[in-house]
Structure 1
Amino acid sequence: MSSPASDASTGAELLDVIVRLNRWVTHHSDWTVPVAQVRVLAQIDDWGEARTSDLARAERCSQPTMTTRLQQLEALGWVARARDRQDARATPLTLTDAGRAVLADARSARTRVIDTLMAPMDAPRRQRLQAATRALRELLDAAYNQLPPTRRSP
């Protein structure tokens, strides 16, 4: 059985590795779209549609900052405003086909970097990494399922 101290150090190490991996992949990817824009596109893609206030909360930025980001994405033709049938004042945002294409390109670029990193790995090591990835996904899925729907922002 593990101790709380070893669990804490495992958690800290896990976060450090994930942050470093994300930084490495971002730095070595061949896409030019700002990371903040890709994160917003990914969030809208995950949710299907999103309100400015929800996106600001998910990205931990002010609503005016998110409004500016969304105006940029809208000007690029990557997001579109829709009508909310239940609240006429609300204007949820959705991805356009162009926005989905940009997001797919960014994800592909990041995947190519990961694939290059993993290329020299032997089969047993890849299998361990796949098992660890599944465990992390299960951990996150369980955490998100415990939250009320309004707080389930990945």
Structure 2
Amino acid sequence: MLYSFAIEDLAAQLERRVALVSQLLRAHAPRGLSVGALLTLRRLDADGPQRVTDLAAAELVAQPTMTALVNRLEQEGLVRKTPHVSDARAVQVAITAIGRTQLAELRAGRAAVLQTRLDRLDDEARAALAAALPALDRLIEP
């Protein structure tokens, strides 16, 4: 079935569904990792060590917010802070082996939840979701 929405309606429907998928995935997150923690660990895993300032800018949060998150992740052993090589005022934040393990477990758990839900869909519905992925990618580009 092809849906026809006004832009405002489409935005509202998309926001609702994204929120519900996010809620579903958060409900299955181990150890209560926040979305911000997950995104930060993913970024550090993919891009390597970064300054807190750069992490805050990339995740669109204030530096004090990112500092608090990094401190919490460090206390949990998921990241480590080291002095920045070229800026004595800054620290580099890197994901630890424990952080990578937690991230892998979280990804596996979320993938299993989604796989279970995707298994309920027929081939046509799965194909429609797959076809929508490029549009979603363009939607979230800066």
TM-score class, shorter: 0.7 to 0.9
Structure-to-structure mapping, 1:43-62, within 5 angstroms: 43-59=43-59, 61-62=61-62
Q: Which residue of 2 aligns with 1:109?
A: 109
CA shift for structure 1 position 18: 0.7
Q: Secondary structure at the match of 1:81?
A: strand
**After TM superposition, which residue ranges in structure 1, 4 or more long, deviate above 6 angstroms?**
none
Q: Which residue of 2 aligns with 1:77?
A: 77
CA shift for structure 1 position 30: 5.4
Gaps of 5+ in 1: 145-154
Q: Find the aligned partners of 1:43 and 1:99 in 2 and give their Cα distance.
A: 12
Which stretch shows the higher mean deviation, 13-22 or 58-67?
58-67
Q: Which residue of 2 aligns with 1:152?
A: none
Aligned pairs, number = 138
Q: Which residue of 1 aligns with 2:32?
A: 33
Sequence identity percentage:
30
Q: Find the aligned partners of 2:58 and 2:46 in 1 and give their Cα distance.
A: 12
Q: Secondary structure at the match of 2:80?
A: strand
Could you tell me the TM-score, scaled by structure 1's length? 0.74
Which of the pair is proportionally richer in strand?
Answer: 2
Structure-to-structure mapping, 1:1-154, within 5 angstroms: 6-27=6-27, 29=28, 31-35=30-34, 36-59=36-59, 61-140=61-140, 143-144=141-142
Gaps of 5+ in 2: none
Could you tell me the TM-score, scaled by structure 2's length? 0.79
CA shift for structure 1 position 88: 2.4
